[in-house]
């Protein structure tokens, strides 16, 4: 491990004092040989666990053939992955990129361009939500409803307004003659693992229909089986005009995607948007293997079952713990809300061989792989409950 003060890296991350060097399934090992149960999956990235065999085989096969070509040429893997995604979603078209921020940036650009080039109404404003998180590019951090990510980056791009989450009347009040779209996470991950109210999402979709607005679902963290459906919008009985994917799409290999309804295709033409590394033969090979594995093994259903099991188990064991105020989530995206900052609790859980992460200041976030063995999940729950029990006991002494 390199001390932060001596590192040649920019200090853009508050790193935990752990150096991970190996991963297999739901377990990882550090440079001292210590083993951890991984309940964070690289923040919802390693959906299939570490080094999944099906993805590894596809990657090795592709590595022997072709690594990169420009998007100026046809890429068969892109076409196949796009077909897999559109056949299993409400979307008709796909744009590939490398990260979630890039996918959301593409969604913002598509919404504005559809309004200005196709509808020719000059609209550009997008309503997003307080405590949302949409990325760290200049446009996506502006879309984000948290001031802390914007500090020092002024002036920010124009065209974003922020509404309280789950408050349809507030959203109605913000729609103006400038509004072209509403962008929302079905579960606010970074904002504290807050699922949207089903009635609110229905009303939001109806509002978009009434006012001719595009509905954009940010599924960077919730997509690809994480919440118990292949895509989280499916829980709500609505179809977004645009939705975005990244984290779990490549099972650990970087790839992002923006998906949209066919009517939006007219807004983009050759040269209006692009991504040098978007949808390379290797990245899309990983995406194909990932989606096929998830569908063939019914992993969204497994995520739903394990998510319900985990929430019930935590509620049963933590209901009397004074440090816990709420336990919530959707599928295997679970938050344990504490009555105090969660940093020290998380560090102690790490020391005992289980990896979890915060969501905001006082929520412990669990995002294990969709393939985690039951015994590993149970061991992780045991450690979390043991630490919280000890912290609660210490607090009253």
- Give binding residues as ranges: 100-101, 133, 136, 218-221, 275-276
Tell me the CA distances in angstroms from 341 to 190, 289, 293, 347, 368, one per residue in order.
15, 39, 38, 12, 22
358 within 8 A of 252, measured Cβ to Cβ:
no
- What is d(CA 250, CA 288) in angstroms, rounded to the nearest whole number? 8
Binding residues for N(2)-acetyl-L-ornithine are: 136, 275
Helix runs in the chain, H state only? 41-44, 53-63, 76-87, 100-113, 138-143, 168-174, 198-211, 281-296, 299-318, 343-351, 374-396
Q: Which residues partner with 271 through β-bridges? A: none
Q: Which two tokens stand for residue 101?
A: 């921020």
Q: How many CB atoms neighbour CB 25 within 10 A? A: 18
User: Which long-range contacts (C-beta less than 8 Å, at least 24 apart) are formed by 162-167?
Assistant: 162/127, 162/128, 162/129, 162/130, 162/132, 163/127, 163/128, 163/129, 163/130, 164/129, 164/130, 165/129, 165/130, 165/131, 165/132, 165/191, 165/194, 165/196, 166/196, 166/197, 166/200, 167/200
Total residue length of the chain: 397
Residue among 315, 342, 313, 316 nearest 326 (CA): 315
What values do phi and psi take at 45, rounded to 5? -95, -50
Torsion angle defined by CA atoms of residues 131, 239, 47 and 9, in that order, rounded to the nearest 10 degrees: -40
Annotated binding residues for pyridoxal 5'-phosphate, written as ranges, equal 100-101, 133, 218-221, 276
């Amino acid at each position: 491990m390199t001390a932060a003060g001596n590192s040649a890296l920019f200090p853009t991350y508050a790193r935990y004092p752990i150096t991970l060097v190996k991963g297999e399934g739901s377990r990882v090992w550090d440079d001292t040989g210590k083993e951890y149960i991984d309940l964070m999956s690289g923040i919802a990235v390693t959906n299939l666990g570490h080094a999944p065999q099906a993805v590894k085989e596809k990657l090795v096969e592709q590595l022997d053939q072709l690594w990169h070509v420009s998007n100026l040429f046809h890429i068969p893997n892109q076409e196949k992955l796009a077909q897999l995604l559109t056949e299993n979603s409400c979307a008709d078209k796909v744009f590939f990129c490398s990260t979630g921020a890039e996918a959301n940036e593409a969604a913002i650009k598509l919404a504005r361009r559809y309004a200005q080039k196709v509808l020719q109404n000059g609209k550009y404003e997008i309503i997003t939500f307080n405590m949302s998180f949409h990325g760290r590019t200049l446009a996506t951090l502006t879309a984000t409803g948290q001031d802390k990510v914007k500090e020092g980056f002024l002036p920010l791009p124009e065209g974003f307004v922020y509404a309280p989450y789950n408050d349809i009347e507030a959203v109605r009040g913000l729609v103006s003659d400038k509004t072209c779209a509403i962008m929302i996470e079905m579960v606010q991950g970074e904002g504290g693992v807050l699922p949207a109210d089903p009635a609110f999402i229905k009303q939001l979709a109806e509002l978009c229909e009434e006012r001719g607005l595009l509905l954009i679902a940010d599924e960077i963290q919730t997509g690809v089986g994480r919440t118990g459906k292949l895509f989280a919008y499916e829980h709500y009985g609505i179809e977004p005009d645009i939705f975005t994917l990244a984290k779990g799409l490549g099972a650990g290999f970087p790839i992002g995607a923006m998906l949209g309804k066919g009517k939006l295709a007219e807004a983009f033409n050759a040269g209006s948007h692009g991504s040098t590394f978007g949808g390379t033969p290797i990245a899309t090979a990983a995406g194909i293997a990932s989606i096929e594995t998830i569908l063939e093994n019914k992993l969204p259903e497994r995520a739903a079952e394990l998510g319900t099991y985990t929430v019930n188990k935590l509620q049963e064991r933590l209901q009397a713990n004074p440090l816990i105020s709420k336990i919530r989530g959707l599928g295997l995206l679970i938050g344990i809300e504490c009555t105090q900052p969660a940093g020290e609790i998380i560090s102690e859980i790490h020391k005992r061989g289980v990896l979890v992460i915060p969501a905001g200041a006082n929520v412990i976030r669990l995002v294990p792989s969709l393939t985690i063995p039951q015994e590993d999940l149970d061991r992780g729950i045991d450690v979390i409950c043991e630490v919280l029990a000890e912290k609660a006991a210490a607090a009253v002494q």
